[in-house]
C-alpha cells in the first residue's frame, strides 16, 4: 500500500469532487436543454401551462428525480460531512 501524504489525499478528494460537480452540471444543462426543446412547442400551442404539468413525459420526472438525488449527494452529503461522521464514529 502506498504511503500518501495528507496533501496528496486532499488533492485526490478535491479532484474527484470537481469531476463529480462537472458531471452534475453537464447533466443539469442537458436536462434543461432537452426539456425546453421538447416542451416549448406544446407550451407555445397552449397544450401545457406552468400550473398544469400533466402532459410532461414521465422520463423528465424520473430524470429530475435522479438529478435531485445527485444534487443532495453533492451539496448536502459531501466529503466534509462524510469526514465528520467518520471522526464522530471513531471517537465513540
Q: Do the domain assignments include residue 86?
A: yes
Are the C-beta atoms of residues 36 and 83 closer than 8 Å to each other? Answer: no
**pLDDT at residue 27 tops 90:** yes
Q: Would residue 62 count as lying in a domain?
A: yes
**pLDDT, mean of residues 36-44:** 77
In angstroms, the CA 37 to CA 6 distance is 46
How far apart CA 61 and CA 76 sit, in angstroms, is 21
C-alpha cell, 74: 453533492
In this structure, is residue 53 part of a structural domain? Answer: yes
Residue 1 lies in a domain: no
How far apart CA 63 and CA 48 sit, in angstroms, is 19
pLDDT band at 49 (very low <50, low <70, confident <90, very high): low
Residue numbers of the domain that contains 35: 6-91
Closest CA to 35 of 10, 12, 58: 58
Amino acid at each position: 500500500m502506498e504511503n500518501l501524504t495528507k496533501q496528496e489525499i486532499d488533492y485526490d478528494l478535491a479532484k474527484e469532487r470537481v469531476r463529480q460537480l462537472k458531471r452534475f452540471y453537464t447533466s443539469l444543462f442537458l436536462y434543461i436543454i432537452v426539456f425546453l426543446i421538447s416542451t416549448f412547442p406544446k407550451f407555445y400551442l397552449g397544450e401545457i401551462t406552468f400550473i398544469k404539468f400533466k402532459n410532461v413525459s414521465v422520463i423528465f420526472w424520473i430524470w429530475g428525480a435522479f438529478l435531485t438525488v445527485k444534487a443532495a449527494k453533492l451539496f448536502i452529503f459531501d466529503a466534509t460531512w462524510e469526514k465528520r461522521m467518520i471522526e464522530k464514529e471513531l471517537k465513540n
